[in-house]
């Protein structure tokens, strides 16, 4: 591991070229001073690297499920590390993209950077919900809904979603390099029981005399996303004009006093309205053209992953799932294409003549199936050989059409792969389980058969 981390550090231009370093579930995400220094092809050839993606101002190196270990190995080797062991500098030489494209990339980068770190919370909470559903009266009936074990798992599954504003407040503040403590505090304001009780009772309320419509913001994302965005500017303003001797208490106090009316009277209600419109739009789309929508996402999802754009779709999921409690759009599409490219991978293992290529393909499939990571297949098989990507898009579209037609629905928020995704569809009636079996089997069969019609040009 140390050898690879040293090679990666050298390849990206050393620690003096690194402005910031974070990681998601599978990728090291570098922000570099000079993006012309790294040599993509050389990095791709490093043993242990599954691929490279350059997106906006980020240079992403795909590692896989061990990415956290590599991240922790790299951090001590970087000289510009602060007390929290995170790479951060107040001023950087990074060139900012300008124009509409630059602003859009900045928005997407903010959303991705704010929501990706909380995926483990949502995943674990969803799994706890799944356990409660499986052992509870709605499925196997092993325990009743009054037992301690059922209550425990149901509680663990609920808090991860209920307190989303606090979790997102922390991660969003970290992304914008402002106070995480203040981010959590403003998130906690939105889920304070006293406010929720006033909202339920319809009691009138004002902030500094400004009328405020209180709402229940538990399990929401957009209200706190907008709040922290504005807070980053307010806090920076106070830091700029506050004497050093007073900063320790005046900066957070001033930030809070300014943000309370902005959050409760403007930003949180606006975020709630936007979230409602997004949910209603998805519901309308599903009612009018669900099969086609699922098919389109399934067909294009490998390209989105390859270009690093898939977190945009996850943002939609984080906004809509807590409010709707299920998903008949994105997760079915991911399942459809995921098992389709598994079938394509197995077909490639059959078609390859060289033993090394066969072994490589089987290892990719095993990593996907048991590790839940699909990037090695995308960067190691689909992108280099091209025809597997085409076959996956075709098979994914067909399987997505099937999943959408059968109205396959996920009841657990889960963005993983392999054997870990199907449990997300536990729930609903028997038709949903039949649709799940058909989508999984259909993906394997369609992917395998489709790939057999294509040639693979070996190295």
Cα 158 to Cα 125: distance, rounded to the nearest angstrom:
7
Q: Based on the residue annotation, tell me whether 265 is a catalytic residue of this protein.
A: no
Structure tokens at 432: 């949903």
Check: CB of residue 387 under 8 Å from CB of residue 394.
no
Beta strand 27-32 pairing with 58-62: antiparallel
Structure tokens at 177: 């390099």
Q: How many CB atoms lie within 10 A of CB 106?
A: 14
| Catalytically annotated residue among 24, 128, 178, 212 | 24
Structure tokens at 185: 């505090």
Q: How many CB atoms lie within 10 A of CB 370?
A: 12
Residues 6+ apart with CB under 8 A from 445: 343
Sheet with 18-23: strands ordered across: 18-23, 27-32, 58-62, 51-55
Among 32, 13, 167, smallest CA distance to 89 is for: 32
3-class secondary-structure state, position 205: strand
What's the length of the chain?
A: 459
Q: How far is CA 301 from CA 296, 332, 374, 400, 434, in A?
A: 8, 12, 11, 11, 24
Structure tokens at 121: 């919370």
Task: List, in sequence order, every residue forming a beta bridge with 22; answer none if it has no partner.
Answer: 29
Contacts of 188-194 with CB under 8 Å at 24 or more apart are 189/260, 189/263, 189/264, 190/165, 190/217, 190/218, 190/220, 190/223, 190/224, 190/263, 190/268, 191/162, 191/163, 191/165, 191/166, 191/217, 191/218
3-class secondary-structure state, position 172: helix
Going 73 to 112 to 175 to 213, the CA torsion angle's sign is: negative
Cα 68 to Cα 74: distance, rounded to the nearest angstrom:
10
Check: CB of residue 357 under 8 Å from CB of residue 351.
no
Task: List, in sequence order, every residue forming a beta bridge with 29; answer none if it has no partner.
Answer: 22, 60
3-class secondary-structure state, position 395: helix
Residues 6+ apart with CB under 8 A from 392: 302, 337, 340, 341, 344, 382, 447
Q: How far is CA 367 from CA 74, 216, 307, 359, in A?
A: 24, 42, 20, 12
Residues marked as catalytic: 24
């Amino acid at each position: 591991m140390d050898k690879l981390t040293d090679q990666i550090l050298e390849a990206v231009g050393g620690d003096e070229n690194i402005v910031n370093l974070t990681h998601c579930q599978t990728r090291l995400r570098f922000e570099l001073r000079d993006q012309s220094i790294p040599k993509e092809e050389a990095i791709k050839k490093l043993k242990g690297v599954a691929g490279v993606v350059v997106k906006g101002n980020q240079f992403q190196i795909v590692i896989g499920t061990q990415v956290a270990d590599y991240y922790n190995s790299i951090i001590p080797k970087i000289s510009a590390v602060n007390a929290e062991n995170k790479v951060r500098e107040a001023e950087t030489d990074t060139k900012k993209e300008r124009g509409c494209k630059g602003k859009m990339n900045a928005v997407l980068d903010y959303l991705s950077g704010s929501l990706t770190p909380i995926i483990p919370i949502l995943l674990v909470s969803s799994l706890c919900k799944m356990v409660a559903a499986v052992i509870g009266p709605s499925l196997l009936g092993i325990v009743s809904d009054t037992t301690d074990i059922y209550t425990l798992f149901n509680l663990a599954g609920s808090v991860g979603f209920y307190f989303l504003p606090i979790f997102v407040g922390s991660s969003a503040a970290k992304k914008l390099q402002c106070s995480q403590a203040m981010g959590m505090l403003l998130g906690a304001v939105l889920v304070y029981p006293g406010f929720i009780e006033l909202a339920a009772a319809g009691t009138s309320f004002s902030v500094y005399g400004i009328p405020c419509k209180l709402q229940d913001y538990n399990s929401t994302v957009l209200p706190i996303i907008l709040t922290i965005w504005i807070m980053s500017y307010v806090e920076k303003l106070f830091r700029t004009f506050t004497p050093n001797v007073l900063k320790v208490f005046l900066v957070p106090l001033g930030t809070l006093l300014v943000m309370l009316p902005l959050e409760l009277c403007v930003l949180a209600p606006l975020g709630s309205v936007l979230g409602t419109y997004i949910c209603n739009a998805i519901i309308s789309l599903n009612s009018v053209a669900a099969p086609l929508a699922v098919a389109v996402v399934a067909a294009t999802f490998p390209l989105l992953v390859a270009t690093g754009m898939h977190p945009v779709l996850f943002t939609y999921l984080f906004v809509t799932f807590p409010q709707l409690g299920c998903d008949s759009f994105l997760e079915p599409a991911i399942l459809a294409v995921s098992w389709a490219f598994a079938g394509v991978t197995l077909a490639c293992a059959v078609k390859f003549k060289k033993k090394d290529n066969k072994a490589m393909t089987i290892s990719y499939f095993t990593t996907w199936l048991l590790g839940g990571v699909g990037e090695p297949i995308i960067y190691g098989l689909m992108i280099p050989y091209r025809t597997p990507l085409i076959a996956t898009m075709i098979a994914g579209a067909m399987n997505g059409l099937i999943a959408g037609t059968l109205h396959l629905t996920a009841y657990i928020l889960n963005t993983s792969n392999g054997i870990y995704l199907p449990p997300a569809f536990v729930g609903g009636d028997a038709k949903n389980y039949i649709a799940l079996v058909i989508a999984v089997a259909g993906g394997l069969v369609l992917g395998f058969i489709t790939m057999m019609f294509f040639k693979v040009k070996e190295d």
